[in-house]
Chain A
Amino acid sequence: MAYLQDDKPEGGPYNWPSADEATVIGKEHERLDGLKKATGAAKYTYDVNLKNQLVARALGCPHAHCKVVSLDSAATLKVPGVVHVEVLEHAQPGSEINWQGELLVIVAAETEGAAAEGVDALNVEYELLDVFTAAEDLEAATKAGRTSKGGGKVETINEPGDDDDEDEFIEKEIARLFAESKHVIEGFYGVDAITHCCLEPHGSTVEWEGDKLNVYLSTQNVSGTDEGFANSLGISADSVDVTCDYIGGGFGSKFAPDYWGVAAARISKATGRPVKLMLSRDQELKIAGNRPSGYVNIKLGADENGVVQVWDSQQWGSSGISGGGVSHTVVPYVLVPKNFRRKSTSIKTNMVRSRAWRAPNHPQACAMTQPALDDLAAAMGMDSYDVFMANLVNASNGKAEVYAEEMKVGAKLIDWKKNWHAHGKGKAKGSVVEGLGMALHTWGGVANTSNCLLKIYPDGGVESFCGTQELGTGTLTVCAMVLAETLGLKVSDVKVNIGSSTFPVSGASGGSTTVGAVSESHRRASQDALRELLVLAAKELGVDALALEAKAGRIQSKDDANKGLSWKQACKLIGLKPLEVTRGHRRGDPSPLSSSGVGGVQMAHVAVDTETGVVKMKRFVAVQDQGLVINPRTCASQIYGAVTMGIAASLYEQRIADPKSGAFVNAELEDYQLARIGDVGEIIVELYEPESERARGVIGNGEPPAISPVAAISNAIANALGVRVPVAPYTPKRVLEALNAAGRA
């Protein structure tokens, strides 16, 4: 490993070992925190019990739109065990509440039971106001005055001249392009809102030590939430320490302290006792994270090969009270024809604002648009695979060749040729028909900012400190693997410390930015620390530092493994104090260690019962590129997980609002349906990592594999039935409705 280009003991250069040289990176390694999690020893925020703590519960607003008329907590204060009642500022009498579940009052008590009883004893009078939640119904939204013009864009090869009226020109140009198209299809597609549904709800346990606040927070943003607490509480950020050793799911919803976290700190200050406040299950679903809905009418025109030449779409949807919906910027998705017009309408509903959900906008955009491509294939009587392949010329991210290769790999794994049949023309077994579908996606995955303090102790111990967090993605293990690789040690020889805001700053885990971030900081710190150690060892051995390497627990000559020192002997040369190196990477800086921009192709094989409308997963194939893979095992797990989540969003999951009251009627896990172990069928994951990918360095993959499942499954259902079920989730009811509408039931 040619780490040294000169004997300057710091500042790079930085690089990764080749596939042949690597001893740890690229090899499967079990996750280091696995046994703690599997035996209940891992302490999550919800599990942190501080001495003398109070447990708090909150009253969530039962109405989707109302005014708080009066609020009486006298009975609550009489409940045995209740210690403190806080009416939140936005819930004072006279306040308007715009969505169901919004917390109004927090009750802190000696036990969870007493807090819950205290909440039940609250007496609140509400004045009900007009409610609108039907984001899927554009006509109703317009009538209710809930719509506003969203963004849009037009691109045409022929552009209007100086004298042309632009709108008129575009209208005519698009009409002309459709008239000239060999094949024209129109369709309606959509995706309902779903929630993050973290199994560990949002919340914290907090305590004050004098003027210093210690927060145990369930967060994806260990280094970045102290300021949020500090600003809200009027103290400085250095007076706030945030700890999160384990987090029970975030998926994009846990970046901030949230007002309930700040309230817990206030109550703790007021009572002089630690306070634990975690949301209840229904509150978690109602207010702590959801994904915008999106619906679209699409007309597209294609040439004789099925390559789309013109696209015209009108979409609508909602991100809740502030309007919004799926961003128009990702419609059409990945495969962007040269001529397109897209318009969007934003709808305001009485629902809490959405939060970032694993690959914001992309899963919906993929599911709203790629079924149109599949419907084109059906209309042309072509194999969908061939139509997707032909349309790779429209790939907007320069990854046509990667997609083509990934499609070939995927087709083999799902046995596309053998299992393919024309839409609706498969052989039925009783009432069951099978079908194939595919979709493809893109994502960034740039490395976030990250810093790592590395200490090598004179006794040979190695310890790192980094303010990142372990979301279950395998971050902790990746950090240790990078250090072990660089220092020629075993993974068990290094100790990685993460999960505290007292450690060097590392970015929030959002946008698939973490594995790149920590690989950057840990590789940089360890490469530079090793350089210092090699210089010391070179002096001792009387050789050039450039001639030495760290390998198999030794610092030794590259030419003669017998000439060298054991790791421990080498570390003795450090002296009395540990060798300390802090290195970092700033998001966006060019680096040889990380990169961004991935593709990914997924294919689904489903069976649909036309009598019951039930869709069953048979097989699902995910082919994913992500540059250099550090730990193939946890990398693959990310993809298995993303696909499983995608199966839930395709077939089961949906936030159901009562149209009259706006109530979120299925906000408990018994009713909020998720995929279970018997629902997922066979999932095959293929890490696409030819040398061309490996050479790009590390890229995050937490989000990209979560994008395509809904579109791929939608297309597989359409292939099975010969009928499109337009809106996800594709529940039995909707399957039967679609068959009815097509006169097939």
Chain B
Amino acid sequence: MSDSKQHSGSRSSFDRRSFLKGSGAVAAATAAQATGVGAGEGQAAQVESGWKKIQLTVNGKKVTVNVQPRTTLLEVLRYQLDLTGAKPVSLDGSSGASTVLIGGKPKTASTTLAISCRKKNIDTVESLGGENLDAVPKAFVDNDALQCGFCTPGFVVAVRAFLNKNPDATEAEIRAGLNGNICRCGTYVGIIDAAISVAKGGA
């Protein structure tokens, strides 16, 4: 058995070209300037292209970052702002490891385009630490709800968001409501206990 096969690339990434391909005539019109840097804010065009500076509000601070239309929020956080708490585990978002709060709602930064986050408040796991330590990360430590810790930031944010919405959550609700995140080391028992302890404490 032997036949020949042509192949280019093994993975699909959300790149500028496929973005434009799907946008018909507008794509053709903007393709010429696609590689230029700084297409400028405030253009009325339906399709954005090239590198441009945008302003985001991350953990209460306004920051200016440089993005392409394909740039994910996760790339911006990790490579431009050195906020590496949100982790790249599954770019399809199915592990929940890149969970952050956007406008108070839990979203995976790996599936969110940075340009879609303008005018929204972005809160990362780092906002739950430091001087104003949140009850959730503390409860994770108290209940040993972490091992290698790579999934932990995403889980901490997911638990925070879940308890914000369900402050009096029961154990059954916690077990049913936090299935968007994966832990490979197997810390679920600790996470359940941590979430229960915060729910009971009303924090």
Q: Which residues of A are at the interface with B, using a C-beta cutoff of 8 A?
A: 30-31, 33-35, 37-44, 46-47, 49, 55, 59-63, 69, 80, 111-113, 116-117, 119-130, 197-200, 246-251, 278, 280-282, 471-473, 633-634, 636-638, 640-645, 668-670, 674-678, 680, 683
Contact = CB atoms under 8 A, between A and B. Distances in A.
Contacts of A636: 144
Contact of B125 (A39, A198, A471, A473): A39
A280 B12 CA distance: 12
Given A31-B144, A121-B9, 17 more contacts: A31-B146, A34-B140, A38-B138, A38-B140, A39-B125, A39-B128, A40-B84, A40-B153, A117-B13, A124-B7, A128-B1, A130-B1, A198-B184, A199-B89, A248-B149, A249-B184, A640-B188
B178 interface: yes
Chain A CB within 10 A, most for which of B10, B35, B95, B141: B10
Contacts of A641: 147, 185-187
Interface string B119-160: 000001110111001001110111011111111110010000
A574 B129 CA distance: 39
B182 A280 contact: no
B125 A282 contact: no
Contact of A69 (B4, B129, B140, B188): B4
A472 B97 contact: no
A187 B14 CA distance: 50
Given A119-B11, A127-B2, A248-B150, A34 B141 contact: yes
B78 to A, nearest CB: 7
Nearest to B158: A677
Contacts of B152: 37-38
B102 interface: no
B10 A199 contact: no
Interface in B1-57: 1-13, 15-17, 35
A199 B95 contact: yes
B15 A117 contact: yes
B1 A31 contact: no
A471 B148 contact: yes
A358 to B, nearest CB: 11
B90 A668 contact: yes
Interface string B86-120: 11111110110100000000000000000000000
Contact of B15 (A116, A123, A472): A116
Contacts of A121: 8-9
Given A199-B97, A199-B182, A674-B182, A30 B87 contact: no
A112 B125 CA distance: 22
A62 B148 contact: no
B98 to A, nearest CB: 11
B150 A637 contact: no
B137 A39 contact: yes
Contacts of B151: 199
Contacts of A640: 186-190
A39 B182 contact: no
Contacts of A677: 174-175, 178-179, 181, 183, 188, 191-192
Nearest to B153: A40
B179 A645 contact: no
A111 B142 contact: no
29 contacts: A30-B142, A33-B149, A34-B140, A35-B141, A37-B146, A38-B141, A38-B145, A40-B85, A44-B87, A44-B150, A112-B75, A113-B70, A117-B16, A119-B9, A120-B12, A120-B15, A125-B7, A129-B1, A130-B1, A199-B87, A199-B184, A281-B89, A282-B11, A637-B144, A637-B147, A669-B90, A670-B92, A675-B186, A680-B188
Q: Which 10 A-B pairs have the closest CB atoms?
A: A40-B85, A39-B129, A644-B186, A248-B150, A37-B149, A472-B148, A472-B147, A641-B186, A47-B84, A120-B9
A244 to B, nearest CB: 12
Interface in B56-77: 68, 70-71, 75
A43 B87 CA distance: 11
A39 B85 contact: yes
B91 A281 contact: yes
B185 A249 contact: yes
Contacts of B187: 637, 640-641, 644
A683 B189 contact: yes
Contacts of A634: 144
Contact of A126 (B1, B5, B71): B5
Contacts of A37: 146, 149, 152-153
B184 A678 contact: no
A227 to B, nearest CB: 25
Contact of B87 (A46, A60, A280): A46
Contacts of A35: 129, 133, 137-138, 141
A589 B168 CA distance: 55
Nearest to B192: A677
B94 A40 contact: no
B115 to A, nearest CB: 13
Given A39-B85, A199-B95, A668-B92, A59 B184 contact: no
Contact of A472 (B16, B78, B90, B146): B146
Given A69-B4, A129-B2, A249-B148, A281 B90 contact: yes
Nearest to B145: A38
A278 to B, nearest CB: 8
B182 A41 contact: no
B52 to A, nearest CB: 14
B13 A113 contact: yes
A687 B15 CA distance: 52
A262 B97 CA distance: 28
B161 interface: no
Given A30-B141, A39-B137, A473 B129 contact: no
Residue picked from B129, B138, B145, B148, most chain A C-beta under 10 Å: B148
Given A44-B150, A113-B15, A640-B189, A39 B95 contact: no
B156 to A, nearest CB: 5
Contacts of B137: 35, 38-39
A69 B189 CA distance: 51
Contact of A30 (B144, B182, B192): B144
A199 B144 CA distance: 19
Contacts of A38: 125, 129, 136-138, 140-141, 145-146, 149, 152-153, 156
Nearest to A280: B11
A33 B150 CA distance: 12
A35 B135 CA distance: 11
B191 to A, nearest CB: 6
